[in-house]
Amino acid sequence: MGNVKKSLEEIGFFSKVPGANLFITNTSKLFNWAQKSSLWPLSFGLACCAIEMMATFSSRYDLDRLGMITRASPRQADLMIIAGTVTVKMSERIKTLYDQMASPKWVIAAGSCAISGDHYRHIYSVVPGVDWVIPVDVYVPGCPPTPEAFIEGILELQNIITTGKTSPTKNVPKCIENEIPINNNKIKKQKNLILNNFIEKDDILDYALQFKNKGFQYLKFITATDFEEGLILTYVISNNNLKEDVEFNISLNKSFEIDSLSQIFTGANWQEREIYDLFGINFVAHPNLKRIMMPEDWIGHPLRKEYSMDSHNLPYRPTREEYEAWKTKL
């Protein structure tokens, strides 16, 4: 009991009245101490970060010692942990469940996608960070964050609750830190990510070479999105020494054709083949542009909006005549 009293006194839970055997406190400190020691989380495992979150709640890390017991109902929870990519459709459910939680309540955003949307934040179906939907108290970075990072985030939240202070990062807009000049344009950079920049498709090789010469040696990924007005290609290139990424986008409204980056970044080879296979974009000067997922004689590109599942009556394999007729239309 003496050790408990000493620890409570050290954190300012109560203070001793000089010259008297009397200790005083206030109800706010009492409630804060009780709340931080009995956080009941409502877990939102939305993507791969949820695997690390589940590992954190395993017996190896023993979160019961911190007073944490997971709940299946928002009525019984006071902490929401968002781990994974937040889609527009899921954001409505998150907001509803958050509103159903009793106050006081807190939110932890765990992982790059929950914090900012990461690679997917410019896709039409993805929210660029859960703090666009609900207020966030603690951000736990990582892709995915380790169990140790989860625990550090929980301890930080406990500290916030104990002191009664709002998280310094809560609802703070992400600010532009600096810019990088490329082709007389200033490419804006946000924290460790250079923002959504649209360039002309004829400039792709020039941009890629200039960024590679500036130390961006690693092509992290290429992806495509089919909007009603056309396709958009997204490239992300990394500078591993500076821990920075650069992203740029290209609109393909009429001609679904663009120069291949495989001669600049070797890793572009299979990624461009996958995009060709699923979206039908022709990468000029690619050394081996052929299907990588679907059979070579497959008709159509499955991730295009106009692709019809009904026309294939899966599993369906076209005849050689159908395949040759389809190729002549390209």
Domains and CATH numbers, the chain: 37-163 (3.40.50.12280), 176-328 (3.30.460.80)
Res 172: pLDDT: 39
Can you tell me the distance from the alpha carbon of 117 to that of 190, in angstroms, rounded to the nearest whole number? 13
The encoded tokens of residue 295 equal: 């059979």
Residue-level pLDDT at 311: 53
pLDDT, residue 276, reads: 95
Instruction: Please tell me the predicted confidence (pLDDT) of residue 295.
Output: 87
- pLDDT the model gives residue 277: 93
138's CB contacts (< 8 A; 6+ apart) are 106, 107, 108, 109, 153, 156, 157, 160, 167, 169
Look at residues 37, 183, 167, 175 and name the one whose alpha carbon lies nearest to residue 109: 167
Determine the pLDDT at residue 262. 93
The predicted model scores a pTM of 0.53
Residue 150, classed as helix, strand or coil, is helix
Query: What are the per-10-residue average pLDDT scores of the chain (330 residues)?
Result: 53 62 67 74 82 85 82 87 87 89 89 82 77 87 85 87 62 37 43 61 91 87 83 85 80 89 92 93 95 87 80 53 68
pLDDT at residue 194 in the model: 45
236 within 8 A of 267, measured Cβ to Cβ? no
- The strand pair at 138-140 and 282-284 is best described as unpaired
Which token pair is 31?
Answer: 């409630």
* Residue found under tokens 């944490």: 68
Structure tokens given for 207: 């941009």
In this predicted structure, what is the pLDDT of residue 287?
Answer: 95
Query: DSSP assignment of 241-255, as one string?
Result: TTTEEEEEEEEESS-
The residue written with tokens 């989380």 in the block is 41
- How is the beta sheet containing 218-227 ordered, strand by strand? 176-182, 185-190, 193-198, 244-252, 230-239, 218-227
